[in-house]
Amino acid sequence: MGQSTAEMTSLPTYSSAGWSISAQKDSDRTWGICPALNNGYPFLTGLTTASC
């Protein structure tokens, strides 16, 4: 079964799976997640200039 939209836009979904992710644009992490960016879905920190 797939994940719900709420799960796919939630930091714990990815951090518990071992992703290098933070709740902001952090250059030490590969991924970021922020409600204001990418419709709340994860984004690659190296490919965005925006910040949360």
Domains of the chain, residue spans: 5-47
Residue 22 CA to residue 2 CA, distance in Å, equals 22
1 by DSSP, 3-state: which?
A: coil
The per-residue pLDDT string of the chain (52 residues; one tens digit each, 9 = 90 and over) reads: 789 999 999 999 999 999 999 998 888 999 999 999 999 999 999 998 888 8
Main-chain dihedrals φ then ψ at residue 21, nearest 5 degrees:
-140, 150
Query: Are 48 and 37 within 8 A, CB to CB?
Result: yes
Q: How many residues does the chain have?
A: 52
8 by DSSP, 3-state: which?
A: helix
